[in-house]
Chains A and B, each alone.
Chain A
């Protein structure tokens, strides 16, 4: 029998991995935009704060940070709710996973976006302001679309690393594809086969992401002349 009847379980795990990766990516993306804004701002407090954030987070292994935030996060939250005199809020492992992965990769996205923002020629922003656009209009009409072009290769890399790091959430107790496949392996005594399946599923996911990223790069490079070799 194909997959010894564990097909639906593996599929559930795969779905969880994908959803977890997408949500974490969203969180990391937003933190990255805010962080890049803070790093490039004129306010020294924001600048120092964001520099400390990216330096410290990128200097510590993601698994260590995950365990640190996962175990201490709940305790801090309990202190906070106690101090505010509200009922205790329990974080479920999924939310904890999304928040920790998003928080960690937010640091990598901050650096990606900072570099990309700096790559947009300043004259373009000045031209926007000269047309009488507001700050927000310059951001979403001029800066953001062009920044995305420069940021896309970095975003692609970060996404692939983030996707692969979701394998670690099985350690904090989430029923992702790695956890479920090793459970199936233990139950059927086909450990090698099921771990291999988890690897194959990840390989399919990274291959699919590669294809999508290539398409996106084409879309955002419209109007850019490449060197004809």
Chain B
């Protein structure tokens, strides 16, 4: 127990927001999660519409993208982008690419966003496919164009129904953020590793990080439960009076 208090005493700032020079720990982890989930979400909406397209030339490339990204570990994807791409002459000789891929943070966000976008695309595509036929028929009967039908009817309905699966994906993404340390991003796990290396108190150093992750997970679960209660109220069983 004393060890625990020692670690908290010395490192609490580093675990939460700063190591004295730059941001570290919890804020970096939350930033990584927020930016990659945001980018993945924005990208996945057009991609999921393309994924359910009847035109094979549109849907197959998207299928191929999600298949590759869902079939390989995120850790390997990050290694490929961070250490792999930067070893290529093509990347090093072009200034823009060179300065982008030199930064571990950029590579991590790129890898995370591409990865979560692949999973999210499949989740949304599944929800779009499961839209009740009558809803689309009604939209057509009102004379809506395809775009208007997607904007007013299909997407709002599909995104709501995708919420439970989507919340799982966000939590999985949170659980993937610790691998960012391998691209030298000072996230929560990196701080824990530094604390472990400096004090040899492995259980306390990693245990504290684990506790913080546990709190983030529980908060996310709570937020999504509220969101489901609000946006999926019409699918909930009616409460007895």
Interface residues, chain A, with chain B CB atoms under 8 Å away: 56, 58-65, 67-68, 71-72, 75, 164-168, 170-171, 178, 182, 185, 189-192, 195-196, 198-199, 202-203, 206-207
Besides A67-B192, A71-B196, A72-B202, 7 other CB < 8 A contacts? Answer: A68-B202, A164-B73, A167-B76, A168-B75, A191-B86, A196-B80, A198-B79
**Is there an interface contact between A75 and B174, defined as CB atoms closer than 8 Å?**
no
- Least Cβ–Cβ distance between B102 and chain A, in angstroms: 15
* Chain B residues closer than 8 Å to A65, beta-carbon distance: 210
| A75, B177: Cα distance in complex, Å | 27
**Is there an interface contact between A67 and B214, defined as CB atoms closer than 8 Å?**
no
Q: Which of B77-107 contact A (CB under 8 A)?
A: 77, 79-80, 83-88
**Is there an interface contact between B77 and A199, defined as CB atoms closer than 8 Å?**
yes
* Chain A residues closer than 8 Å to B193, beta-carbon distance: 67
* Chain B residues closer than 8 Å to A71, beta-carbon distance: 196, 202-203, 206
Partner of B178, one of A58, A64, A192: A64
Max chain A CB contacts within 10 Å: which of B73, B182, B202, B207?
Answer: B73
Partner of A61, one of B176, B182, B196: B176
- Counting CB contacts under 8 A, is B134 at the interface? no
The closest CB in chain B to the CB of A62 belongs to B175
- Counting CB contacts under 8 A, is B31 at the interface? no
* Chain A residues closer than 8 Å to B88, beta-carbon distance: 192
Question: Given A192-B84, A199-B80, A59–B203 Cβ distance below 8 Å?
Answer: no
Partner of A195, one of B83, B192, B202, B210: B83
| A64, B207: Cα distance in complex, Å | 9
| A207, B193: Cα distance in complex, Å | 34
**Is there an interface contact between B213 and A61, defined as CB atoms closer than 8 Å?**
yes
**Is there an interface contact between B217 and A64, defined as CB atoms closer than 8 Å?**
no
Q: Which of B191-211 contact A (CB under 8 A)?
A: 192-193, 196, 202-203, 206-207, 209-210
Partner of B179, one of A168, A202, A206: A168
- Counting CB contacts under 8 A, is B231 at the interface? no
**Is there an interface contact between A206 and B71, defined as CB atoms closer than 8 Å?**
yes
| A203, B218: Cα distance in complex, Å | 32
**Is there an interface contact between B80 and A195, defined as CB atoms closer than 8 Å?**
yes
Question: Given A59-B213, A189-B87, A203-B71, A182–B203 Cβ distance below 8 Å?
Answer: no
Question: Given A60-B210, A67-B193, A171-B182, A195–B175 Cβ distance below 8 Å?
Answer: no
**Is there an interface contact between A195 and B76, defined as CB atoms closer than 8 Å?**
yes
Top 3 nearest A-B pairs (CB, nearest first) are A71-B202, A167-B73, A191-B87
* Chain B residues closer than 8 Å to A166, beta-carbon distance: 73
Question: Given A75-B202, A196-B84, A63–B189 Cβ distance below 8 Å?
Answer: yes
**Is there an interface contact between B73 and A75, defined as CB atoms closer than 8 Å?**
no
- Counting CB contacts under 8 A, is B72 at the interface? yes
| A170, B75: Cα distance in complex, Å | 10
- Counting CB contacts under 8 A, is B223 at the interface? no
Partner of A64, one of B76, B206, B218: B206
**Is there an interface contact between A59 and B218, defined as CB atoms closer than 8 Å?**
yes
